[in-house]
Chain A
Amino acid sequence: MIIRTRKSSDIPSSEITPESVYINRRKFLGASAGLGAAAFLSRDAAASPISTRQDDEPNTWEEITTHNNFYEFGLDKKDPSRNAHRLVTKPWTVKVDGLCKNPGDYQLEDFIKPSTIEDRIYRFRCVEAWSMVIPWRGFPLADVVNRAEPDPSARYVAFETLWDPEQMTERRWKPRIGWPYREGLRLDEAVHPLSLLVNGLYGKELPNQNGAPLRVIVPWKYGFKSIKSIVRMTFTEEEPPTTWATQSPGEYGFYSNVNPDVSHPRWSQATEKRIDGSKFFGHRRIDTLFLNGYADEVAHLYEGMDLQKYF
Chain B
Amino acid sequence: MANPRRRILLLKCAIWLTGLGPIVWLAVGFFRGTLGVLPVDTIILVEGRWTLVFLLATLAVTPIRRLTGWNRIIQLRRLLGLFAFFHACVHFLAYAGIDQLFAIGYIIEDVLDRRYITAGFAALLLLIPLAVTSTKGWIRRLGKRWVKLHRLVYVAASLGVLHFYWKVRADTFWPLVAALTLAGLFAVRLAYRRRRLGGRATSSR
Contacts and interface: CB of A to CB of B under 8 A. Distances in A.
A281 B39 contact: yes
B170 A273 contact: no
Contact of B38 (A71, A130, A265, A266): A130
B69 interface: no
Contacts, number: 61
B173 A172 contact: yes
A264 B172 CA distance: 19
B39 A282 contact: yes
A77 B36 CA distance: 8
Q: Chain B interface residue count: which class?
A: 20 to 34
Nearest to A251: B169
Contacts of A275: 37-38
Contacts of A285: 100-101
Nearest to A271: B106
Nearest to A267: B114
Contacts of A175: 172
17 contacts: A66-B36, A67-B36, A71-B170, A77-B36, A77-B38, A78-B36, A173-B173, A174-B173, A263-B113, A266-B166, A270-B106, A273-B40, A273-B99, A275-B37, A282-B39, A283-B38, A285-B100
Interface of B: 36-41, 98-101, 106, 109-110, 113-117, 166-167, 169-173
Given A67-B38, A174-B171, 14 more contacts: A66-B36, A67-B37, A172-B171, A175-B172, A265-B114, A266-B115, A266-B116, A267-B110, A270-B106, A271-B106, A273-B38, A275-B38, A282-B37, A282-B38
Interface of A: 62-63, 66-67, 71, 75, 77-78, 130, 172-177, 247-248, 263, 265-268, 270-271, 273, 275, 281-283, 285
